[in-house]
Amino acid sequence: MKRSLIVAGFAAIVASALAGAPLAATQSGKPVPTEEEARQKAGMDARYQRLEAERRAADAAREAERLRYEQSVRDAEAARLRYEADLARNREAAARHQREVERANARRAEYDRRMAERAAEQSAEEAERAARRAERDARRERGRTESAAATPAAAPGSCQERQQRDRRRGRRVGGLIGGVAGMVGGPAGGAAGLVSRIVPVGALIGEAIASLLDCDEQEKAATATETAVERGVVGTTETWTSETRPGVTGSSTVTAVERTAGGEDCMTVTDVVIVDGEETRAPKRMCRRPPTNRYVRV
């Protein structure tokens, strides 16, 4: 619309100029413009060109504005698409996180359930073990009572008295046999066997084993240790069974043999005692110091 106004204005200016200027005759019969008319025409041409330039500039500005608007529309559409894509990704991430939380909660619930079941099982097992221990102690006490009733001549301190008597006999006979062995120039097999038989029980078995056994059982355990040590071969095992209490057995096994830097012969012997199905193990170190032939617990 602006362009049409410019053209209309220019046409009006030309018409007014032509109406007020007299035409001059030329030699050829055509009108010759005067100097004033020429100036007016040049001014109108310059104004027309200026108006045309302004028109073209206005058209270019409108086109640039249109292009900017269309670009802004495209940018806004791209931003909307990015926003919707980000929103979809965020929703998927939130859903995935929720699923992971639910799985973690399920695993925790399963773990708590298993721990509760395990605690209940352990409580039941502990109660069962306590009941078995109580029953075993009761049977052990009954066996001791029955054993004491079956041997009325044995006093409560007879086991300790017998051990002390054997210890005194061991010192006397051991000294005698040791002297005899020295006179004949070396240890003899018979002397060694006799010495081993009169060694006190306490020198052969430890407190952990002795506390579980009565006097006769202690002697059997000591004899098993003597026999295993006399053989002196790794893997040698001697077993015994109680004659005073049912369900009581034991063994002695040589597990290692060595000679120390000081010239001592030593062995590692593992004692095993089973009382009413409950096993107790106790390793011990047995050594022999020359010139004696006795292995004693160290």
> Which pLDDT belongs to residue 143?
63
Residue 8 has pLDDT above 70, yes or no: no
In the prediction, which pLDDT does 64 show?
A: 95
Cβ–Cβ < 8 Å for 269, 258: no
The distance in angstroms from the start CA to the end CA of the chain is 125
pLDDT at 272 exceeding the cut of 80: yes
Assess whether the previous peptide bond of 291 is cis (omega < 30° from 0): yes
Cα angle 76-82-87, degrees, rounded to a multiple of 5? 125
- 211-220 mean pLDDT: 91
Q: Is the pLDDT higher at 31 or at 270?
A: 270
Give the domain ranges of the chain: 1-22+32-127, 160-297
Closest CA to 6 of 39, 42, 44: 44
237-241 sheet: strands from edge to edge: 237-241, 248-259, 265-275, 278-288, 296-297
Give burial (CB, 10 Å; 0-12/13-18/19+) of 223.
Answer: middle
Mean per-residue pLDDT, 59-79: 94
Using alpha carbons, select from 294, 239, 240 the residue that is nearest to residue 267. Answer: 294
Confidence of residue 33 (pLDDT cuts 50, 70, 90): confident
